[in-house]
């Protein structure tokens, strides 16, 4: 006759093996699900992306009113237009006193002097019309950039509501179009995603102009030119020449002294 104690022990061991096996199976299932969840292209990952986009996008949409409360519409366009108006009547475009302004349309103008004569005719137009057209252009440029990066149409409104995009769209910041030039230079859609563009000789002129356009108004963003120069030196040279021609063509209207004022203002801006 078997010892009841030994039967109890065997039963406990069997239960332990069953419990241990269940835990291992549960752990394996959890690991497999986590792998599918974060594996790009899987169904689970696609659902995660959709849910994340919806959650973040809706949160951003609710935050747009807050952005508008402390960021006046079109303010980043009004700043250069106001500087152009001062310059057109003989006033300084880069007054040192502008560095004391903390907010509003009288913030310092920090774009290159060659932009002044180009914007002068625009500054004479009705401001509401100019601002409206500029904001629409920024919105179209932002949407085009999203498509260039292979974002699906339903996701684009949520992406544009994301503060780094929404802030630029509300204030009319040139960075929206600079980013569009950046995407046009380096990226192209391919099979539902995007890939880096190949720099072919037939597009040297286009690529050079795009590389220059990324940083033509903000020198710190001209890294696209040396990046292109490593791959297509002639294309980078075209971009540099295009910027030089633009500056030279406006030099009779701006003169050289204003470039010293420009560099001095940049130095003041870099030394708060």
pLDDT confidence of 17, banded at 50, 70, 90?
A: low
Going by pLDDT thresholds of 50, 70 and 90, the confidence category of residue 72 is confident
Q: Provide mean pLDDT across the span 31-35.
A: 70
Query: Above pLDDT 90, what percent of the chain?
Result: 60
Q: Is the pLDDT of residue 45 over 80?
A: no
Of residues 199 and 272, more confidently modeled = 199
Residue 5 has pLDDT above 80, yes or no: no
Whether the per-residue pLDDT at 25 is higher than 80: the answer is: no
pLDDT at residue 272 tops 70 = no
Q: What is the mean pLDDT of residues 219-241?
A: 94
Task: Supply the pLDDT for residue 31.
Answer: 75
Interval 48-53 mean pLDDT: 74
More confident residue, 219 or 29: 219
Residue range 3-22: mean pLDDT, rounded: 55
pLDDT single digits (tens) 216-227? 998 889 999 999
Name the least confident of 123-127, 161-165, 186-190, 224-228.
Answer: 161-165
3-state DSSP of the chain: CCCHHHHHHHHHHHHHHHHHHHHHHHHHHHHHHHHHHCCCCCHHHHHHHHHHHHHHHHHHHHHHHHHHHHCCCCHHHHHHHHHHHHHHCCCCCCCHHHHHCCCCCCCCCCCCCCHHHHHHHHHCCCHHHHHHHHHHHHHHHHHHHHHHCCCCHHHHHHHHCCHHHHHHHHHCCCHHHHHHHHHHHHEEEECCEEEECCCCHHHHHHHHHHHHHHHCCCHHHCCHHHHHHHHCHHHHHHHHHHHHHHHHHHHHHHCCHHHHHHHHHHHHHCCC
- Higher per-residue confidence, 73 vs 59: 73
pTM (predicted TM-score) = 0.78
């Amino acid at each position: 006759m078997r010892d009841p104690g030994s039967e109890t022990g065997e039963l406990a061991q069997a239960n332990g093996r069953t419990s241990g096996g269940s835990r291992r199976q549960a752990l394996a299932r959890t690991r497999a699900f986590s792998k599918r969840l974060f594996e790009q292209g899987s169904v689970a990952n696609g659902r995660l992306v959709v849910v994340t986009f919806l959650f973040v996008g809706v949160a951003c949409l609710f935050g747009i009113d807050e952005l508008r409360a402390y960021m006046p519409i079109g303010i980043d366009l009004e700043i250069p237009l106001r500087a152009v108006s001062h310059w057109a009547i003989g006033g300084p475009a880069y007054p040192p006193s502008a560095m004391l302004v903390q907010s509003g349309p009288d913030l310092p103008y920090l774009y290159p002097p060659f932009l002044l004569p180009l914007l002068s005719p625009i500054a004479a137009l009705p401001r509401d019309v100019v601002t409206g057209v500029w904001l629409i252009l920024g919105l179209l440029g932002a949407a085009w950039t999203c498509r260039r990066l292979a974002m699906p149409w339903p996701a684009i409104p949520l992406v544009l509501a994301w503060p780094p995009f929404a802030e630029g769209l509300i204030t009319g910041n040139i960075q929206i179009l600079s980013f569009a030039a950046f995407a046009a230079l380096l990226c192209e859609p391919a099979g539902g995603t995007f890939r880096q563009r190949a720099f072919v000789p037939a597009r040297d002129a286009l690529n050079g102009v795009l590389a220059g356009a990324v940083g033509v108004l903000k020198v710190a963003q001209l890294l696209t030119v040396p990046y292109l120069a490593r791959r297509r030196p002639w294309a980078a040279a075209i971009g540099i020449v295009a910027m030089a021609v633009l500056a030279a063509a406006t030099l009779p209207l701006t003169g050289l002294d204003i470039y010293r004022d420009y560099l001095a203002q940049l130095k003041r801006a870099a030394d708060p």
